[in-house]
Structure 1
Amino acid sequence: METTILTYKIFDSVAQLPNNWNDLAVGNIFLSSSYFEVLEKSAPKNMTCHYIGLYKNEKLEGIALTQMLTLTDVSSFGVNKSCIKSKLRDFVFKTFAEHVLFVGNNMLTGQNAFIFSNQITTTEALSTLKKAVIQLKKDLKRQKTKIHITSFKDFTIEGSKDFEIESFKKYYLFTTQPNMVFLNQPEWESENDYVNALSKKYRDHYKRARKKSEMVTKRQMDLEEINFYNDKINELYFNVTKNAPFNTFYLAENHFPTFKQLLGDKFLFYGYFIEDKLIGFNTMIINGCALDTYFLGYDDDHQKDKMLYLNMLYDMIGYSITKKYTKLIFSRTALEIKSSVGAKPIEMFGYVKHSNKFINLFMGKLFQYFDPKVTWIERNPFK
């Protein structure tokens, strides 16, 4: 039987992508040229994206996304900088992890790294993708950018097993906070059906949160409104993200208007108002039969007083039920409160390697130190 060696091409811009790129990306909007255009026009300032095509007999059979992040360009690694451990972590990140190359999407949770057709095996595709990544790192080095860390992310336990091949022997398998996924039940027709499925304790939580937010109005915002409120939107977004232990990027100021302009109805933007004052927002992205939650923002006073974040979770659940999406991807962070509304944790894995062979020997211990395990209690709100 004749064997065909896969080849690859690395693309620097959306304009270079082949016309049939979206034939493969049809199963995941986050690998489509339309979404890549969003990144190209409004990616974080410290992010550079590349796109990789895998070819068999000159036919496109695989697509992938890479994101290179320059961590020294991030103005803050979070506001909690008083403790020695935080300062040490910041120093190490900036000294030994200035440039990080992700195969996947660091702005999302889930397998948004690649899609392969059934005309090629996963083993040969991953081996060729790794060769492409090595070439990309050489290209970046010629441009005076040395990649310190390379990471393939985020995969389920089943997906991570595909990497148990010779090509990835020197990569360290890691796990981070789980992806919180809310699964809709086929019999649910409305938000009321969801509420009725809750146990009394969590039904009371729901009623209390809804009562707290009676003065808050919510509406879907179009491009014109997003542009009008854009300064306030960025202020609310930064108010939330600045409290993270550290950030690898900040969204560009034009990110949300660009997203809405290019993806239209597939990008949902909801504003929360008291009278005419915008006090919060959340966003969702339609991805086939699933909804992915995206970035949100709020001011602290109204968040506490109106239980704004919890109400946003309920609103997103209600929308997903009404519109008959099979699942709602809540992503990682805020694990316990997402669990309290019914989301289940899906453990996510990745593979990481440091360019320094000596440091790479201790990658396992270093990773556990700088990304400590989060302790939380899983809830079951249903009867």
Structure 2
Amino acid sequence: MENLSFKIVTKTADLPSNWDEVAAQNHFLQTPYLQVLEQSAPTNMHCFYIAIFKNSTLIGVALAQYLNVHQLDSFGERDKCLKTALRNFIFKNFASHVLFLGNNMITGQNSYAFSIPIDLASVSEILVQSSQALVTYFKEKKVNIHLVSFKDFYEHCSVELKKHHFSTLYEFNTQPNMIFNLPASWKTESDYVAAFSKKYRDQFKRAHKKIEGVEVRELDVNEVIHYEEAIYKLYHYVAQNAPFNTFFLAKNHFSTFKKQCGSRFRICGYFFEGRLVGFHSLLLNDNVLETYFLGYDETIQKEKMLYLNMLYNMTKFGIEHGFEKIIFGRTALEIKSSIGATPVQMSGFIYHTNAIVNKLIPKLFKRLEPETAWQQRHPFK
């Protein structure tokens, strides 16, 4: 496509007036969400907004994020082994300044949107040019970007992107995105449970029996503000015990999100003996329900099977509100498959700005990527 250009914006106040019209199909590229990132992004993250024009008309929008991984005290403390220590050393010293074209905080193809049909050759060109412009921007600020990553593309897109300006980039596949495509015939939770085989129907009943005594309710904005410290503590426990992290949310993230996005962002609290012991959060993105961050008290989690019940509750919400699918993300693959989600492979593309290191990326990436052995479950009749 000819006559394409782009402009990189650093503040949402400076976005073109019709930005949200172009981003209409993806709430995670619209101003309310971008303002959440602007006001409560992780402390080691800075966001950039890319306006794409054909002649002088805005036709596309994209998101980029810079992460200074060196600012993190911990990348995740679950795994204690030599490989993890080596990985952390390399990230600190050779990959601490990372530029993402896309959204590193959520899973899925959320990096760009266009208001008109556009070929992937043009998409790949604009994204690569944008990344180069941002690398130059940081160089002028005496910051050398180490890694540039183009995040999360479904297979049909990645195949086409490789034919064009992504052809020299290293394609990587991390853990799959767990997605639950909800049958249109399901209208209630009972329809969902009826579809289980006996083994998984028994699992559902056992989990619901375990959670007795726990009050589950959606939190309004005032409650989110009231419980903010407790919510963050629960989130941080889970995040810190993940195998790998490149950021930690700001403490005001959940309240900011609720204030900005209202009913598009839902937080559900789990209370036991009057105390908040867990929460899950959901993002309503058109006909797709996206699971967001959650947290729990580990001492209660095991006894009450909180995590499994959260998965069931999020699925129930998706069914009863008529969503076509639920994006469950890349963690806890086996348990998510046990409630009905299936793995969908997504690709990313990456390069190192140091030409010598870039040649080693294929070998380094395979050695450093955390491995997860899991067995897919098939819960339905």
TM-score > 0.5, shorter chain as reference: yes
Whether 1:333 aligns to 2:336 is no
Identical aligned residues as a percent: 48
Write the letter of the residue equivalent to 2:88: D
Matches for 1:178-257 after TM superposition, within 5 Å? 178-257=176-255
Write the letter of the residue equivalent to 1:174: F
Counterpart for residue 157 of structure 2: 159
SS state at 1:168 partner: coil
Matches for 1:28-177 after TM superposition, within 5 Å? 28-80=26-78, 82-177=80-175
- My pick for the range that moved more, 161-170 or 138-147, is 161-170
Whether 1:382 aligns to 2:361 is no
Q: Are 1:8 and 1:129, in contact at CA under 8 Å, matched by a contact in 2?
A: no
Q: Are 2:218 and 2:267, in contact at CA under 8 Å, matched by a contact in 1?
A: yes
Counterpart for residue 349 of structure 2: 351
Q: Deviations over 1:120-143 (max 9, x none)?
A: 432123212311221111011111
Matches of 1:240 and 1:34, distance apart in 2:
27
Q: Deviations over 1:7-50 (max 9, x none)?
A: 11000010110011111111000111111000000000000000
Write the letter of the residue equivalent to 1:333: T
List alignment gaps of at least 5 residues for structure 1. Answer: none
Matches of 1:273 and 1:78, distance apart in 2:
27
Shift of 1:81: 6.6
TM-score by length of 1: 0.97
SS state at 2:150 partner: strand
Matches of 1:323 and 1:80, distance apart in 2:
35
Shift of 1:85: 1.9
Shift of 1:119: 4.9
TM-score by length of 2: 0.98
Q: Deviations over 1:51-108 (max 9, x none)?
A: 1111111101111100000001011122247422222111100110010000011000
Shift of 1:244: 1.3
Matches of 2:79 and 2:123, distance apart in 1:
42
Counterpart for residue 364 of structure 2: 366
Counterpart for residue 14 of structure 1: 12
Write the letter of the residue equivalent to 1:331: G
Whether 1:324 aligns to 2:322 is yes
Matches of 2:231 and 2:22, distance apart in 1:
34
Q: Are 2:218 and 2:269, in contact at CA under 8 Å, matched by a contact in 1?
A: yes
Q: Are 1:53 and 1:62, in contact at CA under 8 Å, matched by a contact in 2?
A: yes
Aligned length: 381
SS state at 1:353 partner: strand
Q: Deviations over 1:271-293 (max 9, x none)?
A: 00013100000000100011100
Shift of 1:164: 1.6
Matches of 2:164 and 2:265, distance apart in 1:
40
Counterpart for residue 296 of structure 1: 294
SS state at 2:165 partner: helix
- My pick for the range that moved more, 257-266 or 242-251, is 242-251
Q: Are 1:80 and 1:86, in contact at CA under 8 Å, matched by a contact in 2?
A: no
Matches of 1:246 and 1:326, distance apart in 2:
30
Shift of 1:167: 2.3
List alignment gaps of at least 5 residues for structure 2. Answer: none
Counterpart for residue 305 of structure 2: 307
Shift of 1:374: 2.0
Matches of 2:120 and 2:78, distance apart in 1:
42
CA 1:204 to 1:81, structure 2 compared with 1: closer, same or farther past 3 Å? closer
Q: Are 1:61 and 1:119, in contact at CA under 8 Å, matched by a contact in 2?
A: no
Counterpart for residue 277 of structure 2: 279
